[in-house]
Structure 1
Amino acid sequence: MSERQRVNRRRSTVGPYSGAEWELLAGLPGRVIVTAVQPGPGRPHRGVAAGLAGLDAVAAGRAFDSDLVRAVVAAIYARHDGTPSPAQLTDLVDVLAACRAAVRVLDRRADPADSAAYRQWVQSVAARVCRTVPAMVPGGALAPADRRFLDRLGGALGLR
């Protein structure tokens, strides 16, 4: 069985998502990584280490006790089979809107436990990126701008 067939079979076990809904759910973690890495007011440029931390956090989703999260991770890895993924905006406002849209999809289609696991996983991806050096302030605390970013993201994901 090919990887794409395994992903499609997994998709069928996690809910009846349309193609657009599935693309939203599978594309959101990557968009969050790119947005979290980007410098902004009070947020320094992080570099490769932060991007790798985000990818590591995505990969950690393979061990989650959620069919949805594991299926999304499998879909993300299956995307890298040479087929281009659609270009998506990574502006903070657009990513927050995508988070709110994902929450609406999850509210309609996902098991509540899978919904919570997915939203927490996406938040953990952003937190791993924000916790990479040099963004940390002395003492190991997050920079205030990173705390605001994570708070806004958590709000958009319905976690706050």
Structure 2
Amino acid sequence: MLTPEVPMSHSVAGEPPSAGRRAAPSTTAVYSAAEWDLLTSLPGRVLVAAAAPASGQPTRGVEAGLAGLDAVAAGRAFDSDLVRAVVAAIYARHDGTPQPTARLTDLVDLLAACRAASRVLRRRADPADSAAYRQWVQSVAARVRRAVPDAHGRRADQPASPADRRFLDRLGAALGLG
């Protein structure tokens, strides 16, 4: 029987991974393929939805997308095996093989996916990992919604507009954060 290879972070001498970090988070084994796909696709879906212009608002532009990508990548430094594993899976998907593009969904579909992810996490994840994941996903949206170009074309943060606050509040509620 073939077993999938698990990337290990062993040194050349063969020592085990550094203390405090597991080579492959054991938390990922408890999720079905559909559940794992939901957890790994949700940050990208949130980024796309957050970057979409609110009704009557101008397009958010490249700055918003870059802010979202930065927020996703920031998950690599989280003190959560689950968040780090999700980020690793997101980056592993971009290995040159064709992937479906992030779909632009309406807010109702996105909020339903957030509620479904919250239910999966409530059933299967360690409470600390669940909280870290849900907060991280909301932080992706918050960083996208705050990003605007400054007078020199660089990215700058701005306070959230009322429409942005409503979006973030609804997202937080669907994620079980509020």
Q: TM-score, normalised by structure 1?
A: 0.87
Does the 8 Å CA contact 1:42/1:144 hold for their aligned counterparts? no
Residues 1:27 and 2:27 are matched in the alignment: no
Of 38, 44, 69, the match for 2:52: 38
Q: 1:107 to 1:43 in 2, by over 3 A?
A: farther
Residue 93 of structure 2 corresponds to which residue in structure 1? Answer: 79
SS of residue in 2 equivalent to 1:133: strand
Q: 1:37 to 1:15 in 2, by over 3 A?
A: same
Give distance in 1, aligned partners of 2:93 and 2:26.
Answer: 17
Residues 1:142 and 2:160 are matched in the alignment: yes
Q: TM-score, normalised by structure 2?
A: 0.78
Give distance in 2, aligned partners of 1:150 and 1:120.
Answer: 11
Q: Name stretches of at least 5 consecutive residues in structure 1 with no aligned partner.
A: 135-139
Residues 1:121 and 2:136 are matched in the alignment: yes
Give distance in 2, aligned partners of 1:19 and 1:11.
Answer: 16
Does the 8 Å CA contact 2:28/2:36 hold for their aligned counterparts? no
Q: Give RMSD over aligned pairs.
A: 2.1
Give distance in 1, aligned partners of 2:135 and 2:56.
Answer: 25
Relative to structure 2, which stretch is displaced further, 50-59 or 36-45?
36-45
Give distance in 2, aligned partners of 1:44 and 1:112.
Answer: 39
Q: Name stretches of at least 5 consecutive residues in structure 2 with no aligned partner.
A: 9-22, 150-157
Residues 1:152 and 2:173 are matched in the alignment: no
Give distance in 2, aligned partners of 1:30 and 1:84.
Answer: 16
Offset at residue 15 of structure 1 (A): 4.3
Which structure carries more relative contact order (alpha carbon 8 Å, separation 6+)? 1
Between the aligned residues of both structures, percent identity stands at 75
The structure richer in helix per residue is 1
Q: 1:37 to 1:89 in 2, by over 3 A?
A: closer
Instruction: Count how many residue pairs are aligned between Structure 1 and Structure 2.
Output: 152
SS of residue in 1 equivalent to 2:76: helix
Does the 8 Å CA contact 2:114/2:174 hold for their aligned counterparts? yes
Larger Rg: 2
